[in-house]
């Protein structure tokens, strides 16, 4: 019974591609039915099969006599929720097979499998050097998939920076900074353990390929390091923007409070004059037809004097 026959007859969410003696089995949205099928047809440890369905596994490499079990996490950006989350890929690699289990969220992985299904040239290119090289092609595409997400975060940082320095952008910038900090923290949490896994991967899979993959994985590690360095830089930029935002918001608040204080200081003696002439006691010019004009004149003299004083002191 071939893998494709098992999928059709048993209703398994499982597909496969074969070229020569190498088979790539791809399982999207794995359930217990698929892990039971793998347990019956492959020498996999039950704990590894349980890890395929777990959502809390850390990236790792488990080495056995006949196969390797690997867990990868790669970022996925959800546009609706505006948040970056991790998507898990579990991999079993042996001499003549490569099995991937994932949720179908990682477009490069799905696209590469479809290419191998439909295109003879793609199968020859990816399968001809063994299971180890096929795994490299998958990991390399998924690492490169991180770069557009990273660039998107960089673009959002630039837009947020423009909003911060715009006079009307402070309230909007608060929410944007919080979202950016959340994305960078999530991204860093995903990439940090992956650096060690990808760094030690080439030595582990040498027995599953006829090619020397040290140069290939060296290039992939360089990409991972570049992603990590960019995330470090973004973290520092966001912290700087947050400090700048707080400083600008504080300065704006101080400016408002300064103007309100000046207005209140000017109005205080004016209010005193109005209160005095509003009392029911005899006062100069109180019963004159020019009393209102006299009161306004006193107020204008007070206001003008205080404005002149504040201007001399460079307060306004």
- Give the long-range contacts of residues 87-91, CB within 8 A, separation 24 or more: 88/55, 88/57, 89/142, 90/30, 90/51, 90/52, 90/57, 91/135, 91/138
- Distances in whole angstroms, Cα of residue 48 to Cα of each of 42, 60, 111: 12, 11, 26
Q: Where are the alpha helices (DSSP H) in 42-119?
A: 46-53, 107-118
CA angle 38, 44, 47 (to 5 degrees): 105
Predicted local distance difference test score (pLDDT) of residue 211: 81
Kindly state the helix (H) or strand (E) to which residue 60 belongs, with its residue range: strand 60-63
Tell the residue number behind the tokens 């423009």, with chain if given.
162
Tell the residue number behind the tokens 């490499």, with chain if given.
61
> How far, in whole angstroms, is CA 127 from its chain's centroid?
34
Predicted local distance difference test score (pLDDT) of residue 283: 66
Predicted local distance difference test score (pLDDT) of residue 9: 41
Strand order across the 68-78 sheet: 15-19, 22-28, 97-102, 83-93, 68-78, 60-63
In the predicted model, residues of the chain with pLDDT beneath 50 are 1-3, 5-9
Predicted local distance difference test score (pLDDT) of residue 168: 55
Tell the residue number behind the tokens 């499998």, with chain if given.
113
**Helix, strand or coil, per DSSP, at residue 279:** coil
Predicted local distance difference test score (pLDDT) of residue 93: 94
| Structural domain boundaries in the chain | 3-249, 278-312
Cα–Cα distance between 64 and 45 in angstroms, integer? 9
Kindly state the helix (H) or strand (E) to which residue 63 belongs, with its residue range: strand 60-63
Cα–Cα distance between 157 and 160 in angstroms, integer? 5
Dihedral angle sign, alpha carbons of residues 229, 235, 240, 245 = positive
Predicted local distance difference test score (pLDDT) of residue 3: 46
Predicted local distance difference test score (pLDDT) of residue 281: 67
Asked whether the beta carbons of 197 and 70 are under 8 A apart, the reply is yes
Q: What DSSP state is assigned to residue 92?
A: E
Predicted local distance difference test score (pLDDT) of residue 261: 85
- In 3D space, the residue among 146, 141, 93 whose CA is nearest the CA of residue 116 turns out to be 141
DSSP string of 170-237? HHHHHHHHHHHHHHHHHHHHHHHHHHHHHHTHHHHSGGG-SS--HHHHHHHHHHHHHHHHHHHHHHHH
Looking at domain 3-249, which of 3.40.47.10, 3.30.460.20, 1.20.1250.20, 3.40.50.300 is its CATH number?
3.30.460.20
Asked whether the beta carbons of 51 and 72 are under 8 A apart, the reply is no
Predicted local distance difference test score (pLDDT) of residue 73: 92
- In 3D space, the residue among 20, 26, 28, 23 whose CA is nearest the CA of residue 2 turns out to be 23
């Amino acid at each position: 019974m071939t893998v494709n026959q098992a999928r059709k007859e048993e209703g398994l969410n499982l597909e496969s591609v074969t070229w020569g003696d190498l088979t790539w089995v791809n399982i999207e949205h794995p359930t217990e039915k698929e892990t039971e099928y793998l347990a019956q047809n492959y020498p996999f440890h039950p704990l590894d099969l349980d890890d395929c369905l777990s959502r809390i596994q850390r990236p790792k490499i488990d080495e056995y006599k006949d196969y390797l079990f690997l867990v990868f996490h790669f970022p996925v950006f959800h546009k609706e929720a505006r948040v970056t989350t991790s998507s898990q890929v579990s991999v079993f690699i042996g001499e003549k097979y490569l099995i991937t289990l994932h949720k179908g969220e990682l477009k490069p992985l799905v696209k590469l499998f479809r290419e191998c299904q439909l295109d003879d040239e793609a199968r020859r290119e990816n399968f001809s050097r063994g299971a180890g090289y096929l795994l490299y092609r998958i990991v390399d595409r998924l690492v490169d998939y991180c770069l557009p997400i990273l660039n998107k975060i960089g673009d959002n940082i630039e837009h947020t920076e423009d909003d911060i320095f715009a006079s009307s952008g402070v309230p909007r910038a608060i929410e944007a900074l919080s979202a950016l900090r959340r994305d960078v923290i999530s991204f860093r949490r995903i990439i940090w353990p992956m650096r060690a896994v990808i760094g030690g991967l080439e030595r582990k899979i040498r027995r599953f390929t006829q090619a020397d993959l040290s140069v290939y994985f060296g290039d992939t590690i360089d990409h991972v390091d570049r992603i990590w360095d960019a995330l470090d830089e973004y973290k520092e930029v966001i912290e700087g923007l947050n400090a700048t935002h707080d400083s600008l918001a504080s300065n704006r608040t101080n400016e408002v409070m300064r103007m309100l204080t000046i207005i209140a200081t000017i109005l205080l003696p004016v209010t005193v004059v109005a209160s005095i002439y509003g009392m029911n006691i005899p006062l100069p010019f109180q019963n004159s037809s020019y009393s209102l004009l006299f009161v306004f004149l006193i107020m204008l003299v007070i206001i003008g004097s205080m404005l002149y004083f504040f201007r001399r002191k460079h307060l306004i």
